[in-house]
Amino acid sequence: MHLTHPDASIYVAGHRGLLGRALVKKLRTHGYRNLLLRTREELDLRCQHSVNSFFESERPEFVILAAARVGGILANDRYPADFLGDNLLIQNHVLDAARKNGVKRLLFLGSTCIYPREAEQPMQETALLSGPLEVTNRWYAVAKITGVVQCQALRRQHGSDFVTVMATNLYGPGDNFDLTSSHVLPALMRKLHEAHTSGQKRISVWGSGSPRREFLYSEDMADACVFVLETPEEHLLHVAPDSMLNVGYGNDLSIRELCDLLQNVMGTDCALDFDRSKPDGTPRKLVDVSRLMKLGWKAPTSLQDGIQKTYAWYKSECP
Ligand code: GFB
Residue 7 CA: distances (Å) to CA of 3, 13, 54, 230, 266: 10, 18, 19, 14, 41
Task: Please indicate whether residue 140 is annotated as part of the active site.
Answer: yes
* Residue 258 in contact with ligand 1 by CB distance below 6 A: no
Q: State pLDDT tens for residues 14-40.
A: 999 999 999 999 999 999 999 999 999
Question: Please, which residues have CB within 8 angstroms of residue 129's CB and are 6 or more apart in sequence?
Answer: 145
* Residue 113 in contact with ligand 1 by CB distance below 6 A: yes
Among candidate residues 105, 107, 112, 109, the one with its CA nearest the CA of residue 128? 112
Domains of the chain: 10-174+214-251+285-301 (3.40.50.720)
Do residues 207 and 213 make contact, with C-beta atoms less than 8 angstroms apart? no
Q: Which atom of ligand 1 is nearest to the CA of 205?
A: 18
Q: State pLDDT tens for residues 129-158.
A: 999 999 999 999 999 999 999 999 999 999
Residue 45's pLDDT band, with cuts at 50, 70 and 90, is very high
Residue 304's pLDDT band, with cuts at 50, 70 and 90, is very high
Q: Is the peptide bond before 122 cis (omega within 30 degrees of 0)?
A: yes
Q: State pLDDT tens for residues 173-199.
A: 999 999 999 999 999 999 999 999 999
What is the Å distance from ligand 1's center to 26 Cα? 27
The pTM of this model reads: 0.97
Whether the per-residue pLDDT at 319 is higher than 70: the answer is: no
Q: State pLDDT tens for residues 193-229.
A: 999 999 999 999 999 999 999 999 999 999 999 999 9
Q: Which atom of ligand 1 is nearest to the CA of 136?
A: 31
Q: Which atom of ligand 1 is nearest to the CA of 191?
A: 21
